[in-house]
Chain A
Amino acid sequence: IMCASAKYNTRGPALIPRMKTKHRIYYITLFSIVLLGLIATGMFQFWPHSIESSSDWTVEKHSVHDVPVVKLPADSPIPERGDLSCRMHTCFDVYRCGFNPKNKIKVYIYSLKKYVDEYGTSVSNTISREYNELLTAISDSEFYTDDVNRACLFVPSIDVLNQNALRIKETAQALAQLSRWDRGTNHLLFNMLPGGPPDYNTALDVPRDRALLAGGGFSTWTYRQGYDVSIPVYSPLSGEVDLPERGPGPRRYFILSSQMALHPEYRSELEALQAENGESVLILDKCTNLSDGVPAVRKRCHKNQVFDYPQVLQESTFCVVLRGARLGQAVLSDVLQAGCVPVIIADSYILPFSEVLDWKRASVVIPEEKMPEMYSILQSVPQRQIEEMQRQARWFWEAYFRSMKAIALATLQIINDRIYPYAAISYEEWNDPPAVKWSSVSNPLFLPLIPPQSQGFTAIVLTYDRVESLFRVITEVSKVPSLSKLLVVWNNQNKNPPEDSLWPKIRVPLKVVRTAENKLSNRFFPYDEIETEAVLAIDDDIIMLTSDELQFGYEVWREFPDRLVGYPGRLHLWDHEMNKWKYESEWTNEVSMVLTGAAFYHKYFNYLYTYKMPGDIKNWVDAHMNCEDIAMNFLVANVTGKSVIKVTPRKKFKCPECTAIDGLSLDQTHMVERSECINKFASVFGTMPLKVVEHRADPVLYKDDFPEKLKSFPNIGSL
């Protein structure tokens, strides 16, 4: 199987064979004819069909009541009760799912039927609005298939969201006669209100054999970890009421309880809490004297005060979610929507989607026995954490609670992740709100490793035709003890590199790579020849760096392997007058970039530069023949969130002889260009990733009053 995206270009840019001109014209003509032919074929073959197939997408239009009726004989089989020992590896048939490159399961939905018993009485209510929405969402998703033979998961259209709305035995019989039932294998049932009086089971009572259950209100004893999915109890208010997101921060009440019909014991405990802490605790109940026409669900009362529900939830920092007859409560959804931090008091309750969601970041769970201590427990939560929890709560609602679609897709994704664990969605993706996802930096080299010195580094010299200078650089660099290989990137297509015999003889392997095009980005290509982690990028005119200076740079890189370690530092500044970024060089007290005319960095960043550079930066750099170093600085800072390390006093690379050539005006155009680069890159990255620091790294004993010959790096160079 090919994994195109995972493959590397194993070679550097390849050489395109050059053809003679007359042949070229011939081939171009031929090629255009073929191309025209192809387009014509495409038009002919695909165009009419695609119109046709899109017309196929129109769906049947008829009433819910206008569906086939299925009569269930009284003695039709009933599935076994749910098997508590079921796990994915015992009760689930993975062979139905198979390996596919998209790593997506296929879900089939049975068509809607009306089930009646022998006497023609209906087994359950007509499909509910919510279940219809859920099935529509699945049907519109990329999980859906209408081919029962290719399906991995089957969703019956029998609505079991609310156990009280159905007849248990007959519903079970209806399930058992589904065409692919097979003891419920790979069948998924959605249920939000399980159990009923008197014992209120925490899972759906309908016998369902091996079927998976997505249930709201599981307890730890009925939930089959890794098999069932715990889902929220959907609150229809989410669709009705629009509560705009409220910024985090302190709110009028500290604790609020809004549930009606609480058990008197809970209520008295809550009231005790209010008596103790006064105004900051608000305990609401059902309103008794509402005028007609006001929906009772939308109002809550405290003594004679009337509050709008769910709006009142936004007035409190914490909102209590107590268990009722069942463990799962619709109020949890309302509370999250209001950005109120839920205080969950329901022992043994399996929180919605707890398999993937980290509820510690969005809620406080308090054991029922500790209810009297609730106030002090909540007081101990740091304010900054409360703010984060408020944002997190709202994000959970937006992503996983707000609609039946969100609930359905999250459920399917969880099951999908179990079947294709190597393609599973990560913790961060499930849990981080978009703003956090955007702002968080996940350093690809996060493990604190100090690479062994013995590995050494590979020097890469990008050159065009300055052979003499190149040879000097090679000779100089080869004196650095930790150099392990030297790679010359020959960027000149019109000229061959000098013959082997002419190259300086050095103690380490020297390789020459020829490129297909004269591009600046060739210097940052992850050549296979680079066998070390450390790369020293060096220009072919950098001859002023001493061997000690380079060796020290390498040692510093070993201590900071995830950073750019370079010599002259540069700075970006915000120009208030022009309202844009400005590039600044030399004599600043701060540094935010280093020049890559000579810099150490990890080979990983070559890979990133070549394959993961955002936007069109790479092409932009190649087109302008400038700023590849700024692009590299941006890239590294953006992915690691860290600053560069400038080493040694070195401030510029200019050789003493060439100062006269670079006039002041040339300098200024240069600065303007560089500033433009910074502005361009900042807009592509959508942020300014560069970090400003005020330090540079010197050897421990630099300029200390100590015998020079005892210093490791006595000859550290000058400005």
Chain B
Amino acid sequence: MQTRKKYIFLTFLASWLLLFFFGGDQLRRFAFFSGRKAEARRNWPRWTDWSLLKSFADPEELQSDGDPSLPSPQERRAARLSVYKNSRCRMETCFDFSRCEKHGFKVFTYPRERDQPLSESYGKILTSIERSRYYTPNPEEACLFILSIDTLDRDHLSGQYVHNVDEKIRGFPLWNGGRNHLIFNLYSGTWPNYTEDLGFDIGQAILAKASFYTESFRPGFDISIPLFSKDHPQRGGERGWLYQDSIPPKKKYLLVFKGKRYLTGIGSGTRNALHHIHNGKDIISLTTCKHGKDWEKHKDTRCDRDNVDYEKFDYQELLHNSTFCIVPRGRRLGSFRFLEALQAACIPVLLSDGWELPFAEAIDWGKAAVVGNERLLLQIPSAVRCIHPERVLAFQQQTQFLWDAYFSSVDKIVHTTLEIIKDRLLPHRSRSRFLWNTLPGGLLALPDFSTHLRDFPFYYLQHGRTLPVPAEHGKLNACPNTYPLPGFFSGSSPSKKFTAFIRAISPASSLSQPILRLIQAVSGSQYCAQILVLWSCEKPPPPSGKWPQTTVPLTIIRARGKLSDRFFPYAAIQTDAVLSLDEHTSLSTSEVDFAFVVWRSFPERIVGFPARSHFWDPEQRRWGYTSKWTNELSIVLTAAAFYHRYYHSLFTEYLPAGLRELVDGLAACEDILMNVLVAAVTKLPPIKVTQRKQHKETVPQQVGCKDGDVGDPPQPGSKAPHPRCSPPAKVKGTAGAAGGRRFSQQQDCLNQLADWFGYMPLVSSQLRLDPVLFKDQVSVLRKKYPRLERP
């Protein structure tokens, strides 16, 4: 046996050698170099006199590019207005910016008329606008106008087609040739050509349309929106389906498609070819001919076989189990499939030539989708196979981010449209592409607050790597926050100081003891930059002489008497960090120090002391709120918490006024709203840090809380909660009257907020952050925060 093996091996080697000696030349041609290399490669010549060549333009001509005979800039602008209209509209020629100057970006919707048919989707769009912070009922104030006529479906064969639109809009005194109007459309044109025609003259109105064709798209003016179904939720919206980041992507299929193919007419070319890439293994591409009434008339030889294969697979199953999804054009360029794939984290492979992608003015689709070419369908399998697994993972996560930030509800689609238009009004106060394409997304990054990344709590990591200078921390036990960072990267971590912001509501005119103690404790912190007292009582605050002497400046601000005042973005708050406090809060300096150091590691979250939690009450079918000691937390009270000052701006400017009114009407709801807001932005729980003793407020609450079955809410898609997550015992208590009312208001508040947001944004956490040596059995001298452990 051995000898035989040896001989086989030898023969093999010998033949290989021979091949190489004699066939080397051929091999070389095919495998290593192109055959043409042996010939001279003809490059662009190096001219002998190249240095004598003249420049393409005279330097003087380049530097003074003017022509005195030209009309003046003003005349030219005026002339442009008359030339560039309708199909050549641009913001500067068709939009009246002056309307937006006085009152800012306000949107007016025409009053709805009763006899007018209104589709469900258009109703949702109008509701979104009316609920938004930009809405105005007064056309005088408006910058942008939205028709009440349903223009979504302009296929005149459709039942929802509204007739005589031209006539109707001509009757509107505000129409003004469509100037400053925004028109929404999902379907235009009809069989057989599906042109972009809307069946009425939109004039100078901005068109927000699905399935936009690049040729008819007026760049910088129109907006391409995604096609969404009438079941698309008004707000909130389902989350994406990506629950785990696995590498390599552990999905059953690589690439799938399941859908109709058209035997004739527009769009049939692409869909009829899709079966070519089907391999029955990791690429599933199935089409059915069954479509319309008379498909059998046009049916081809493949139809019967295709129809049989088609039934073997389930669309939803394919969507869930594939890495890439083909999103080809239908009759029109866009399809529902696009959003479905996006939500399913199935990376869309677009085969829709000439489609102006949804919100492409803001969204960088190259990070979330593969833009294929209809003509190169057969290259798609190899192209997607060659995408690296890390990139696939990044793609998948980006689909989820985009879905959640801009597409999961009608509210988000409408708001994205409005924000894109708003950004055009003041180009220097608009979002860069970076903000649109990075978590938490453009809708949550307000350019009115700042256009600078470092002013937001979200982007510190983008420049998180420090120079190779060992600037970290000097010696043992040195505080890592006091070393100076090299100038270039100084902005890469949040500011090293905080502003203490104390809300005083007690009616007494003299200063109570707790607030004095609190001011002393806070001003003792090495990180404290200033103290602000928000005086919310009717009586005037005590004169400055009565306030304690502190090493840091102390300023008093008069509030306007609303609960939501405490989250107003006061100009006096100059540091990134805000320590929000109630006058009764009792904290020590070392607690403040430690919490601030923790916050600097989590600048986008709320980091604080007293915690609460929410739970789903299956009996009452509503959300519950508890202040009991539980093993979980999802709310950190703003009576003692650090957070980024940007959240003041978000709270006041991002949330619609209605929500703030709701909060003003309920006791202790503003805390919850702040927590809900931050959770909705970050998708993360707040952080509780250790506290010497329990927060004062909790003592009465502990007795006063209602008994409730604490359990986890039924999260769609997740399995039943682990038994550990729910507290093991029911604690019965008798409610004090005042505490009880307050408590039920908080419960109400929580439910109303969940309703307003369309889902429950709060996220639970099971941990608390303590100093590294907390309560360890080591010498107190070793510990940095020994005072935290005193009883």
- A and B contact pairs by CB, cutoff 8 A, 27 listed: A38-B20, A52-B38, A59-B44, A62-B48, A89-B353, A138-B44, A144-B43, A159-B56, A193-B56, A233-B62, A330-B63, A365-B428, A381-B451, A449-B243, A453-B721, A455-B243, A481-B722, A559-B765, A559-B767, A589-B772, A589-B773, A694-B784, A696-B770, A699-B767, A700-B765, A700-B767, A702-B770
- CB pair A127 B768 closer than 8 Å: no
> How far apart are B298's CB and chain A's nearest CB, in angstroms?
26
> CB of A162 within 8 A of chain B?
yes
- CB pair A446 B439 closer than 8 Å: yes
> How far apart are B27's CB and chain A's nearest CB, in angstroms?
9
10 closest pairs, A vs B, by CB? A261-B66, A324-B65, A261-B64, A641-B464, A139-B44, A89-B353, A128-B56, A260-B64, A712-B631, A447-B397
Q: Which of A433-441, A496-504, A664-672 contacts B (4 or more CB under 8 A)?
A: A433-441
Chain A: number of interface residues, binned into ranges: 35 or more
Q: How far is the CA of A421 from the CA of B724 in the complex (A)?
A: 48
Residues on the A chain within 8 Å of B56, using CB: 128-131, 159, 161-162, 165, 192-193, 234
Residues on the A chain within 8 Å of B37, using CB: 53
> How far apart are A285's CB and chain B's nearest CB, in angstroms?
10
Q: How far is the CA of A689 from the CA of B466 in the complex (A)?
A: 7
Q: How far is the CA of A635 from the CA of B212 in the complex (A)?
A: 45
- CB pair A441 B465 closer than 8 Å: yes
| Chain A 670-711: CB-based contact to B (< 8 A → 1; otherwise 0) | 000000000000100011111111111111111110100111
Residues on the A chain within 8 Å of B281, using CB: none
Q: How far is the CA of A36 from the CA of B632 in the complex (A)?
A: 70
B414-441 residues at the A interface, CB under 8 angstroms? 427-434, 437, 439
Residues on the B chain within 8 Å of A604, using CB: 245, 247, 393
> CB of A624 within 8 A of chain B?
no
> CB of A32 within 8 A of chain B?
no
Known: A6-B387, A129-B53, A603-B246. A41 touches B21 (CB 8 A): yes
> CB of A656 within 8 A of chain B?
no
- CB pair A421 B41 closer than 8 Å: no
- CB pair B28 A45 closer than 8 Å: yes
From the candidates A161, A360, A426, A561, name the one contacting B430 in the complex (CB within 8 A): A360
| Chain B 348-365: CB-based contact to A (< 8 A → 1; otherwise 0) | 000001100000000010
- CB pair B601 A643 closer than 8 Å: yes
> CB of B546 within 8 A of chain A?
no
> CB of B455 within 8 A of chain A?
yes
Residues on the A chain within 8 Å of B767, using CB: 552, 555-556, 559, 647, 697-700
| Chain B 48-68: CB-based contact to A (< 8 A → 1; otherwise 0) | 111001111101101111110
| Chain A 411-455: CB-based contact to B (< 8 A → 1; otherwise 0) | 000000000011010110001000110111111111111111111
> CB of A581 within 8 A of chain B?
yes
Closest to A378 in B: B428
Known: A573-B473, A602-B245. A699 touches B48 (CB 8 A): no
Residues on the A chain within 8 Å of B461, using CB: 441, 443, 640-642
> CB of B88 within 8 A of chain A?
yes
Q: Which of A73-81, A203-211, A366-374, A459-467 contacts B (4 or more CB under 8 A)?
A: A366-374
- CB pair B385 A56 closer than 8 Å: no
Closest to B65 in A: A324
Q: How far is the CA of A422 from the CA of B392 in the complex (A)?
A: 11
Known: A1-B386, A3-B386. A588 touches B370 (CB 8 A): no
Residues on the B chain within 8 Å of A119, using CB: none
Residues on the B chain within 8 Å of A265, using CB: 72-74
Chain B: number of interface residues, binned into ranges: 35 or more
- CB pair A453 B722 closer than 8 Å: yes
> How far apart are A333's CB and chain B's nearest CB, in angstroms?
10
Q: How far is the CA of A1 from the CA of B386 in the complex (A)?
A: 9
From the candidates A59, A128, A435, name the one contacting B488 in the complex (CB within 8 A): A435
B178-207 residues at the A interface, CB under 8 angstroms? none
- CB pair A140 B629 closer than 8 Å: no
From the candidates A1, A197, A297, A442, name the one contacting B59 in the complex (CB within 8 A): A297
Closest to A64 in B: B47
Known: A63-B49, A377-B428, A441-B464. A700 touches B474 (CB 8 A): no
Closest to A40 in B: B21
- CB pair B465 A347 closer than 8 Å: no
> CB of B597 within 8 A of chain A?
yes
| Chain B 212-251: CB-based contact to A (< 8 A → 1; otherwise 0) | 0011000110000000000000000000001111111010
- CB pair A382 B688 closer than 8 Å: no
- CB pair B729 A710 closer than 8 Å: yes
Q: How far is the CA of A177 from the CA of B46 in the complex (A)?
A: 25
Q: How far is the CA of A441 from the CA of B464 in the complex (A)?
A: 6
| Chain A 651-663: CB-based contact to B (< 8 A → 1; otherwise 0) | 1000000000000
Q: Is the interface of B mostly helix, strand, loop or mixed?
A: loop
- CB pair A710 B41 closer than 8 Å: no
> CB of A296 within 8 A of chain B?
yes
| Chain A 289-323: CB-based contact to B (< 8 A → 1; otherwise 0) | 00000011100000000000000000000000001
> How far apart are B670's CB and chain A's nearest CB, in angstroms?
24
> How far apart are A87's CB and chain B's nearest CB, in angstroms?
6
Q: How far is the CA of A365 from the CA of B785 in the complex (A)?
A: 51
A233-251 residues at the B interface, CB under 8 angstroms? 233-237
- CB pair B67 A221 closer than 8 Å: no
Known: A34-B13, A450-B763, A709-B728. A193 touches B57 (CB 8 A): yes
Residues on the B chain within 8 Å of A689, using CB: 465
| Chain B 32-44: CB-based contact to A (< 8 A → 1; otherwise 0) | 0000111111111
> CB of B82 within 8 A of chain A?
no
B426-477 residues at the A interface, CB under 8 angstroms? 427-434, 437, 439, 450-452, 454-455, 461-468, 470, 472-477
Q: How far is the CA of A402 from the CA of B488 in the complex (A)?
A: 24
Q: How far is the CA of A382 from the CA of B452 in the complex (A)?
A: 7
- CB pair A449 B437 closer than 8 Å: no
- CB pair B60 A59 closer than 8 Å: no
> CB of B292 within 8 A of chain A?
no
Q: How far is the CA of A659 from the CA of B90 in the complex (A)?
A: 78
> How far apart are A477's CB and chain B's nearest CB, in angstroms?
17
> How far apart are B557's CB and chain A's nearest CB, in angstroms?
24
Residues on the B chain within 8 Å of A449, using CB: 242-245
| Chain B 383-408: CB-based contact to A (< 8 A → 1; otherwise 0) | 11111111001100100110000000
> How far apart are A594's CB and chain B's nearest CB, in angstroms?
11
> How far apart are A336's CB and chain B's nearest CB, in angstroms?
15
Residues on the A chain within 8 Å of B597, using CB: 694-695
> CB of B366 within 8 A of chain A?
yes
> How far apart are B660's CB and chain A's nearest CB, in angstroms?
26
| Chain A 174-203: CB-based contact to B (< 8 A → 1; otherwise 0) | 000000000000000000110001101000
Q: How far is the CA of A693 from the CA of B387 in the complex (A)?
A: 37
From the candidates B60, B69, B427, B474, name the one contacting A296 in the complex (CB within 8 A): B60
> How far apart are B601's CB and chain A's nearest CB, in angstroms?
6
> How far apart are B344's CB and chain A's nearest CB, in angstroms?
15
Residues on the B chain within 8 Å of A454, using CB: 718-719
- CB pair A325 B65 closer than 8 Å: yes
B564-586 residues at the A interface, CB under 8 angstroms? none
> CB of B336 within 8 A of chain A?
no
Q: Which of B310-318, B374-382, B617-625 contacts A (4 or more CB under 8 A)?
A: B374-382
Q: How far is the CA of A192 from the CA of B776 in the complex (A)?
A: 72
A157-179 residues at the B interface, CB under 8 angstroms? 159, 161-162, 164-165
Q: How far is the CA of A455 from the CA of B383 in the complex (A)?
A: 32
Residues on the A chain within 8 Å of B10, using CB: 30
> CB of B658 within 8 A of chain A?
no
Q: How far is the CA of A689 from the CA of B47 in the complex (A)?
A: 51
Closest to B691 in A: A704
> How far apart are A113's CB and chain B's nearest CB, in angstroms?
12
- CB pair B774 A698 closer than 8 Å: yes
- CB pair B63 A331 closer than 8 Å: yes
Known: A237-B59, A441-B461, A687-B465. A126 touches B64 (CB 8 A): no
| Chain B 626-643: CB-based contact to A (< 8 A → 1; otherwise 0) | 000111110000000000
- CB pair A94 B376 closer than 8 Å: yes
Q: How far is the CA of A265 from the CA of B72 in the complex (A)?
A: 7
